Amino acid sequence: MERLSGPELVQKASQLIANNELDEAVKIFGYLVDKLPDAPLPLLSRCTCLIQLEKYEEAKKDAENLLHFPNMPISEELAPGNSTLHSVAYARLAKCYKELGQIEEAEKLLKKRLEIEKTTNPRAIKEKINEDDKSEVGTNDEQSIETNKAAEKLRLQGNELYKLRKFKESSDIYSEALELDPNNILIHSNQALVLSKLNELDDALVHAETCIRLNPKWPKGYYRKGCILLEQKKYNEAFAALQLAKHYGGEDADLSKKIDLSRKKLKNSTNLKLIIISVAVSIISVLLLYFVEFEQIKSVLYWLFNNYFGDLW
């Protein structure tokens, strides 16, 4: 990359994007970000590529960093529907929050973007208010936003039923919510919890793993999975999942307790296996000693050595 000029690198990245080689384009924009820390456009371009790659946590950091730059006009070609740098930064942030299941935060960010556009481009707002906001957060019309709101309302209803220990009713409500918003990570997390309370552990595990698929760096997804695996007595896998929850930022006291419990269970399980093996060996030894004549033992050993270890003699 060092042999190419800035414009040549941008041209190369554009070609990579056209060929859908987004990971390589991200590398080039990352290089430009490091070399040109005072230039916001490489950062904006990398943010856009990361969103297309569904790497929303990384994209969110880039969008937040864009807000540290002075607000400036940008071309329509660079970010359609956005007239300033901060406007597009808020739109990108809203997209990330929406995909991470934080609908209310996404809507707040879109309102900030709209205020900027009202000030800088009032005519466009009057002609086509909020149309591009919806495309930025992954929706095509107001109906999709209303659907997400309805799903969130159902989730909160399910939470109240859970507090009343009405687990079956709570699970049914979460199922309705997921029909409206199947990629809502919070609903999947809640469903995993309530299904584990109903001892439907296999189904609970599916929802926990869906949380991990939707956001591989969200600690609660691994926490849910670890707790379910503990219930299934899969202590080795449970310990690994809970350690990942801690690795990705889980800090609550209950997580530490679950890690200690899984470690203890894993140790006890290993010790039990060793005890069983020792007892089995002892029983076989006694049986051989008292019920098999020495000459028979000698014949068996001779046969074993002759057939399996003969090449070593």
73 forms beta bridges with 84
Q: What is the pTM of this model?
A: 0.47
User: For the chain, which residues make up each domain, given as ranges?
Assistant: 6-120, 144-266, 274-310
**Side-chain half-sphere CA neighbours of 211 within 13 A:** 26
Which of 228-237, 242-251, 281-290 tops mean pLDDT? 228-237
Mean pLDDT, all residues of the chain: 79
With beta carbons less than 8 A apart as the criterion, state whether 129 and 87 touch. Answer: no
| Choice between 122 and 56, residue whose per-residue pLDDT is larger | 56
What tokens does 99 get? 């995909």
Report, as an integer, the average pLDDT of 202-217: 90
Q: Return contacts of 227-231, CB within 8 angstroms, 24+ apart.
A: 227/196, 227/258, 228/192, 228/196, 228/201, 228/204, 229/205, 230/258, 230/261, 230/262, 230/265, 231/196, 231/199, 231/201
* CA-wise closest residue to 93 among 48, 39, 142, 130: 48
Exposed, middle or buried, 289 (CB in 10 Å: 0-12/13-18/19+)?
exposed
CATH of 144-266, one of 1.10.760.10, 1.25.40.10, 3.40.50.970, 2.30.30.360: 1.25.40.10
- Alpha carbon distance 190, 215 (integer Å): 15
Report, as an integer, the average pLDDT of 108-127: 69
How far, in Å, are 3, 23, 88, 90, 217 from residue 27 at the CA level?
15, 7, 22, 23, 21
Q: What is the pLDDT of residue 118?
A: 72
Q: Which of 82-86, 163-167, 190-194, 232-236 has the lowest mean pLDDT?
A: 82-86
Task: With residue 110 as reference, give the H or E element that holds it.
Answer: helix 103-120
Q: What is the pLDDT of residue 140?
A: 47
In the chain, how many H helices and how many E strands?
A: 16, 0
| Choice between 222 and 82, residue whose per-residue pLDDT is larger | 222
Q: What is the pLDDT of residue 154?
A: 92
Classified as helix, coil or strand, 96 is helix
- Can you state the angle between helices 201-214 and 219-231, rounded to 10 degrees? 160
Q: Which tens digits make up the pLDDT trace of 43-98? A: 888 998 898 888 889 999 999 999 998 888 877 666 677 778 888 889 889 888 88
- Alpha carbon distance 46, 28 (integer Å): 9
- Alpha carbon distance 183, 56 (integer Å): 14
Any residues with CB less than 8 A from the CB of 229 and at least 6 apart, and which? 205, 235, 237, 238, 241
DSSP 8-state symbol, 73: B
What tokens does 59 get? 């994209």
Torsion of CA 303, 305, 309, 313, to 10 degrees: -120
Which of 122-131, 201-210, 302-311 tops mean pLDDT? 201-210
Any residues with CB less than 8 A from the CB of 20 and at least 6 apart, and which? none
CATH of 6-120, one of 3.30.1330.10, 2.30.140.10, 1.25.60.10, 1.25.40.10: 1.25.40.10
